[in-house]
Chain A
Amino acid sequence: GQNIDQPTEMTATEGAIVQINCTYQTSGFNGLFWYQQHAGEAPTFLSYNVLDGLEEKGRFSSFLSRSKGYSYLLLKELQMKDSASYLCAVTTRGGSTLGRLYFGRGTQLTVWP
């Protein structure tokens, strides 16, 4: 089976930096996605990692260590609009699970002024 773990809640202040961690135990790991979901809305794609290292995209960066089964999403210069749930999801290679994403339960981030 797949086991994906991330903190339930985090808080931070506007302008700060926050790191949301995700650990996973999965067979046939083939990539990790981060999605953002505002309350009452659909998840939207933020980032994708398949190789070890850091992927930077504006204020958001995502890091992956395949050997440690670990990823983090780094949000810089936090804004109020960053208050949302952040979902970590892994994809696996081959067989009957090809194309599936296995989601963690999400981390609810609240940004205070």
Chain B
Amino acid sequence: NAGVTQTPKFRVLKTGQSMTLLCAQDMNHEYMYWYRQDPGMGLRLIHYSVGEGTTAKGEVPDGYNVSRLKKQNFLLGLESAAPSQTSVYFCASSYGTSGRSSSYEQYFGPGTRLTVT
């Protein structure tokens, strides 16, 4: 199993450009998440999904959109990139549906390092 994979690993954008980050998981997980991590700020949730075709806002959703058309994929879009979106982006997934709180253990992808100039 590859677990959680993210594409691309690194990217440099100019202000105003758009891009899509792709997250894929092969563990048949129901729940998927996008976080950003900045120095001193910890992991902050951008958007998440509790199943195919569903999405919900997290703590810092502004400037981002997401889609979950297939259960194994979760896409994060930046329509018009800004320097404030320079960050490391992590995708994660969890089983999520058994009702036991341990099923919410999240498995993380390797991250995407995005720089917006």
Binding site for B on A (CB under 8 A): 30-31, 33, 41-45, 48, 50, 87, 91, 93, 96, 98-101, 103-106
**A106 to B102 Cα, complex, angstroms:** 21
**A39 to B44 Cα, complex, angstroms:** 17
A-B contact count (CB 8 A): 52
Question: What residue in chain A is nearest B40 (Cβ atoms)?
Answer: A105
Q: How many Å from the CB of B47 to the closest CB on chain A?
A: 11
Q: How many Å from the CB of A5 to the closest CB on chain B?
A: 11
Given the interface pairs A50-B101, A96-B56, A99-B48, the reply to whether A105 lies near B41 with Cβ below 8 Å is yes
Residues of B within 8 A of A (CB-CB), count: 25
Pairs across A and B, CB under 8 Å, 10 listed: A45-B106, A48-B102, A50-B102, A91-B104, A98-B50, A99-B31, A99-B50, A100-B33, A100-B48, A100-B104
Contact B43 A87 (CB under 8 A): yes
Interface core residue of B48, B94, B96, B101 (most chain A CB under 10 Å) = B101
**A77 to B56 Cα, complex, angstroms:** 42
B108 cross-chain contacts in A, Cβ below 8 A: 42-44
Given A87, A93, A100, A105, which contacts B45 in the complex, CB threshold below 8 Å? A100
B105 cross-chain contacts in A, Cβ below 8 A: 33, 45, 48
Given B40, B50, B102, B110, which contacts A41 in the complex, CB threshold below 8 Å? B110
Given the interface pairs A42-B111, A103-B43, the reply to whether A31 lies near B56 with Cβ below 8 Å is no
B58 cross-chain contacts in A, Cβ below 8 A: 100
